[in-house]
């Protein structure tokens, strides 16, 4: 899922972005192109908060710190925790639109685990 999408549904809208930060060090890497930085993928959704409620907010404590009207960035250990929480969730309880959002966040989390320069940003609108 790439590009900017607006999905219709109940709840407060949220912009989710997969971002690449600037690497602190390229030591030990072979010469070559520097990976792109900034926003790699963006999704604008309404279903996120409904999906969190359906899955059980108490089962997804990483998402408790996300301000629906502010900005939050997850990286490192926070992403690891989020992935563990989502992998233990029952997505069958979600509508197809809600499931698509949560599967995307999980996929981004897995990418962040493999590449520590990636992070997931949430911005309320």
Determine the Cα–Cα distance for residues 12 and 113; give it in Å rounded to an integer. 28
Determine the Cα–Cα distance for residues 77 and 57; give it in Å rounded to an integer. 19
Taking all residues of the chain, what is their mean pLDDT, rounded to a whole number? Answer: 85
With residue 42 as reference, give the H or E element that holds it. strand 38-45
For the CA atoms of 16, 18, 20, 21, the dihedral, rounded to the nearest 10 degrees, stands at 30
Q: What is the pTM of this model?
A: 0.80
83-94 tens-digit pLDDT = 999 999 999 999
Residue 33 phi/psi, 5-degree rounding, is: -65, 145
CA 99 from centre of chain: 13
């Amino acid at each position: 899922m790439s590009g900017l999408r607006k999905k219709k549904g109940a709840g407060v809208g949220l912009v989710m972005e997969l971002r690449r930060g600037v690497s602190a060090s390229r030591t030990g890497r072979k010469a070559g192109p520097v990976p792109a930085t900034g926003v790699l993928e963006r999704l604008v959704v309404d279903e996120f908060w409904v999906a969190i409620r359906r899955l059980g907010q108490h089962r997804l404590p990483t998402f408790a710190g996300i301000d629906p009207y502010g900005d939050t960035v997850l990286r490192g250990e926070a992403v690891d925790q989020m992935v563990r929480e989502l992998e233990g969730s029952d997505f069958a309880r979600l509508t197809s639109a809600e499931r698509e959002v949560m599967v995307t966040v999980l996929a981004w989390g897995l990418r962040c685990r493999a590449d520590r320069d990636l992070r997931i940003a949430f911005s309320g609108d």
